[in-house]
Amino acid sequence: MLSLASIVLSVGAALPLATANALSGALHRDVVVIGGGAAGAYAAVRLRDDFNKSIALIEKQDILGGMVDTYVDQKTGATFDFGVQTFLNVSGAKAFFDRFNVSVGSYSSSASLITEYIDFNTGAEVDFEVPSITAQIVAIAQFLTVIEPWESMLQPGYWNFPDPSNIPDDLLIPFGEFLTKYGLEDGAPIIYSTTGLGVGNMSEVATMFALQSFGWDMARALTGQLGLFTPTSGGNQALYNAIATDLGDDVLYSSTVLKSRRTNSGVSLTVRNHKTGQLTPIIARRLLVAIEPTEDNTSPLDLSPSEQNTLAKFTYSNEFAGLVDNAVFNTNYTYFNLPSTAAPNHTLIFQEEPMVASFEYTGLDHLFRVMVIGNTTSTADEAKALAQTNFNTLLKTGHLSSPQDQKLSWAAFSTHGPMHARVSVDEVKSGFYQDLYKLQGARSTWWTGGAFSVNFQTKLWEFNEGLIPKILEGL
């Protein structure tokens, strides 16, 4: 087994002279965390402030918060969250806001919007008759009863995911079939339009991945059994700005890992600031990876062939959210994309990704929120181009107040990148999740974030609560 000293030496030897000299100034930390989004920022605070561990947090952007996107209206100071909308009030969530003095209030969505269903590919009006809100909520309550027995298999995290021979069949059938089997079709529109659409054509994905995109706590929230909250001022970014203030110089912004060495006795990373070019060596006893384990993100992480083989099995959606400012949209409207075949009342028919999910009024001037769900290769340019194409179609087919061509005017745009990591049913049946969880703790490395848990901010905090004691063992 390598000692820390020999890791330092070998990294030093592999780096240019200037960097090798800088190694005398290496940061020594108990835990180094990669990614300052929901999962990484929370873990950094807990480890440092509550467990007295020294940390360094490496964040690619110049702010914390990841998928949180708070737009601030320059004229009025009003905020609109066009990325993460709201926080599930699961255990400990409210207390975490309290410790940063970020006051929160109940979340209320813009319920008074008028929804117009249109097939964005053709511009055809879709005469889709959505089930009444009562019928939808009744279905969600039944849905919760059906899925309740499986909660501990998938949340928080896959620690208790059953062995291949014990996986309930229902978790592996397409979600559309699942909803039909249990007579829950009326619940589909609200599952899809809130968070289910992240997986693209929700009817096609294996039920377990649809559950990870909506699931137990969203069902509880929609049926009034669990609160949803947001900060009362400053938008959702208010929390992450408070965390940034707290963590101070322990965050390395605008930085990514250039190369690393991971062993059972510790890790050694070289981190590069892409604005200044500065290289910072970090030597730590543990690594916590809080970014999606994509090929790009993991290429500097010195993966072993078996780590690489496992992580390469994931496929992702690529998601984008933005705000457009075009006066031709009608205020108070949501233009919602559904295939024509959803008419008159087929609740299980959704668009295939890549797709623009909707143009939705924000309540501010002429600003509309745009959500694009891409496939595993979609880029930001493709997402914007698709939104423009769909917009042209809406203009030409008379859905907007002017038929003239015009450019979408982007007031904000955010690339959320790969998320909703999932694998094929065959992989699940071949023990993928057991293999994935063998990575936890191996080579001094722990993994958090959506791929290892679920795509909700406060659920990731809950997942971290289970992970932190494991990270701390022997530290």
Ligand X SMILES: *[C@@H]1O[C@H](CO)[C@@H](O)[C@H](O)[C@H]1NC(C)=O
- Applying CB under 6 A, the residues found at the interface with ligand X are 52, 89, 94, 100-101, 106, 112, 176, 201, 203-204, 227, 229, 246, 331-332, 339, 344-345, 349-352, 354, 375-378
> Could you tell me if 319 and 417 are in contact, meaning their C-beta atoms sit under 8 angstroms apart?
yes
Cα(152)–Cα(210) distance, rounded to whole angstroms?
A: 16
Whole-number Cα distances in Å, 54 to 65, 282, 294, 461: 21, 12, 27, 19
Site string for ligand FAD, 293-332 (x = CB under 6 A): ----x---------------------x-x-----------
Output the smallest distance, CB 366 to ligand X, in A: 11
Query: CB-wise, 96 or 437, nearer to ligand X?
Result: 96
Query: What does the block give as tokens for 279?
Result: 């290289």
Report what 290 binds from ligand X, ligand FAD, none; CB cut-off 5-8 Å by kind. Answer: ligand FAD
Report what 351 binds from ligand FAD, ligand X, none; CB cut-off 5-8 Å by kind. Answer: ligand X
Give the contacts of 149 (CB within 8 A, at least 6 positions apart). none
> Could you tell me if 447 and 439 are in contact, meaning their C-beta atoms sit under 8 angstroms apart?
yes
Q: Does 67 bind ligand FAD (CB under 6 A)?
A: yes
Q: Does 230 bind ligand FAD (CB under 6 A)?
A: no
| Angle made by CA atoms 168, 169, 173, in degrees to the nearest 5 | 130
315-325 and 333-337 beta bridge pairing: unpaired
Cα(373)–Cα(13) distance, rounded to whole angstroms?
A: 44
> Could you tell me if 337 and 389 are in contact, meaning their C-beta atoms sit under 8 angstroms apart?
no
Query: What strands lie across the sheet with 104-106, from one edge to the other?
Result: 87-88, 228-231, 104-106
Q: Does 186 bind ligand FAD (CB under 6 A)?
A: no
> Contact with ligand FAD (CB under 6 A): which of 457, 461, 462, 471?
457
Site string for ligand FAD, 369-408 (x = CB under 6 A): --x-------------------------------------
Residue count, binding to ligand FAD (CB under 6 A) = 34
Query: CB-wise, 26 or 271, nearer to ligand FAD?
Result: 271
Cα(197)–Cα(117) distance, rounded to whole angstroms?
A: 15
Give the contacts of 18 (CB within 8 A, at least 6 positions apart). none
Query: What does the block give as tokens for 123?
Result: 């511009």
Output the smallest distance, CB 279 to ligand FAD, in A: 15
Question: Of the ranges 95-103, 131-139, 242-250, 447-455, which one interacts with ligand FAD (CB under 6 A)?
Answer: 447-455
Report what 52 binds from ligand X, ligand FAD, none; CB cut-off 5-8 Å by kind. Answer: ligand X
Cα(271)–Cα(257) distance, rounded to whole angstroms?
A: 4
Query: CB-wise, 153 or 283, nearer to ligand X?
Result: 283
Question: Of the ranges 1-9, 29-37, 97-105, 164-172, which one interacts with ligand FAD (CB under 6 A)?
Answer: 29-37
Output the smallest distance, CB 242 to ligand X, in A: 6
Q: Please tell me what DSSP assigns to residue 186.
A: G
Q: Does 59 bind ligand FAD (CB under 6 A)?
A: yes
Cα(415)–Cα(244) distance, rounded to whole angstroms?
A: 21
266-273 and 315-325 beta bridge pairing: unpaired
Report what 100 binds from ligand FAD, ligand X, none; CB cut-off 5-8 Å by kind. Answer: ligand X
Q: Does 290 bind ligand FAD (CB under 6 A)?
A: yes
> Could you tell me if 194 and 218 are in contact, meaning their C-beta atoms sit under 8 angstroms apart?
yes
Q: Which spans of this chain sit near ligand FAD (rule: CB under 6 A)?
A: 34-40, 58-61, 66-67, 83-88, 256, 290-291, 297, 319, 321, 371, 416, 449-450, 455-458, 460
